[in-house]
Structure 1
């Protein structure tokens, strides 16, 4: 059983859908959420990287959260990314998310500025105290240039609302380090799609996933197999999935995931500038990867029947 059922399972990083004129397409975003819920995901991450958080205006972010709450209700936890340029803006956003009825926050370091350890800890503590919502700290030093080391999390253990860690350092050894240093103090999530099997073997509670937007059923079945210790079966599904899971680690992960949604009929490839939709040989290559995956798609019924 997970240590904290609220923070466990597959939490897709939901994409934000746009119209052709770059305006928000809230009905399409809600349709994506409904489809994920039907597939059995355990929670939703709104306005993470895949949700193009930093490409939305403040009022648009609040609208997306309200739309998610409208369709998901209390079916699963709704977590919002907190990706702001200043601590004050992040704190205000946390307060607003609580008013909207969001269930938790995934807090990033301040954007653009690469803070040192003292500044980083002050940012997280201040945001944590701005609302009553439980918080997942998102550690992705590769992308954001700010690294919260396993030992540093001990300095946040006194903040009662900081309950979870999304570990995206690309180093699965940190899962064991976090267990050894902090025991059960923090719930641990894998934040790198193509490390979920390895991380599950080391002991995690959940998976924040981008490719779940494209193949939600496969993601849920993979997670269930891992949690049941059925690693031989999980490896087969993982090997089929891994070429696509690698896309989650690329600079253009948003474009790669959104075009996958379009290929399988679960969304649009439309992104907001400075991101642009794929074109030319790159677009053809990524589409071919998804088409190959569809051609070789595993029969999930057999895996479910064996449970």
Structure 2
């Protein structure tokens, strides 16, 4: 199996941009990717939760992947979320993504149905077998109701192209448990924005971030500080960033992040129903958080 992905670094979970009428806006999505590349991200995750995967039609998903691959131009690996209702649907998506030239997959459990551990392993193994692409498992039990515990994850090592895990259980102790249970067999990515510093201290290979879509320069700087062991600097930046990083852990994270992109000029807040843009008190709360952050935005050193 060819593996072009360097399983380390900051991989933003890229939003999918829409026009005011909720039609897909591929040029705007490509401009967003260009801004992320300019900031120095290490990879791209298309069509994850932030990319509103389940709100897109099948051909729209393929169009987003083609657009992302075109603008990335081989500069960084492009991964796609695989978020389908059935295992067969996930397998077909994996085959299509490989034909498009995507570099890897971030596979979610089958949507809606909450599978047991045997069914979960079968789903991931079957989707992985459908292509030669390397696969990252996305473990987010709080949102998707399916939990792959560290001791159970060892069994995934038998599937040779499952190579990494995005750990989003909200329990940072799992980073150490994964190391102890599986050793160096898998790359481990932090998947909870407001636990990235803690995860870095415990030894993760990468960070998949939502708020990097809004503040890519700061996210890149924070990751570099963490990997270089410059924890005093990292703590200062993290304390500035954390009120915003908390927004990634709430049910309306997509609306939070897209509103932030609109505020800083990196996108629009338009989402697809059933999501609606924020209004009322919750909109004011999120805007106030961004305004406070912008008013106190740190001056980054070019060497960061």
Task: Report the TM-score range of the alignment, normalised by the length of the smaller protein.
Answer: over 0.9
Distance 1:132 1:218 in 2: 34
Q: Distance in 2 between matches of 1:85 and 1:183?
A: 32
**Separation in 2, partners of 1:181, 1:54:** 32
For residues 92 and 5 of structure 1, do their structure 2 counterparts lie closer, same or farther at Cα, with a shift above 3 Å needed?
A: closer
Corresponding residue for 2:120? 120
Distance in 2 (CA, whole Å) between partners of 1:166 and 1:281 is 33
What's the counterpart of residue 133 of structure 2?
Answer: 133
Q: CA RMSD in A?
A: 0.9
1:230 maps to which residue?
A: 230
Work out whether 1:280 is the aligned partner of 2:285: no
Question: Which consecutive segments of 4 or more residues in structure 1 shift more than 6 A?
Answer: none
Question: Aligned partners of 2:182, 2:150: CA distance in 1, in Å?
Answer: 9
Taking structure 2 as the reference length, the TM-score comes to 0.98
In structure 2, how many angstroms separate the alpha carbons of the residues matched to 1:195 and 1:6? 22
Separation in 2, partners of 1:183, 1:155: 13
- 1:12 is aligned to 2:12: yes
Query: How do 1:182-197 residues align onto structure 2 when only pairs under 5 Å count?
Result: 182-197=182-197
What is the DSSP-based 3-state SS (H/G/I as helix, E as strand, rest coil) of the residue aligned with 2:158? coil
Unaligned 5+ segments in structure 1 are none
Matched with 1:252 is 252
Residues 259-278 of structure 1: pairs in structure 2 closer than 5 A: 259-278=259-278
Output the CA distance in 1 between the equivalents of 2:67 and 2:135: 21
Distance (whole Å) between structure 2 residues aligned to residue 125 and residue 289 of structure 1 = 42
For residues 271-290 of structure 1, give each alpha carbon's deviation from its aligned partner in whole angstroms, at most 9, with x where no partner exists: 00000001112111111110
**Cα distance between partner residues in 1 of 2:82 and 2:209:** 17
Contact persistence 2:163–2:186 (CA under 8 A): yes
Contact 2:269–2:277 under 8 Å retained in 1 = yes
In structure 1, the residue matched to 2:174 is 174
Unmatched 5+ residue regions in structure 2?
none
SS of match in other structure, 1:157: helix
Q: Does structure 1 residue 156 correspond to structure 2 residue 160?
A: no
Measured in 2, the distance between the counterparts of 1:150 and 1:21 equals 43
Alignment partner of 1:270: what SS?
Answer: coil
TM-score, normalised on structure 1? 0.97
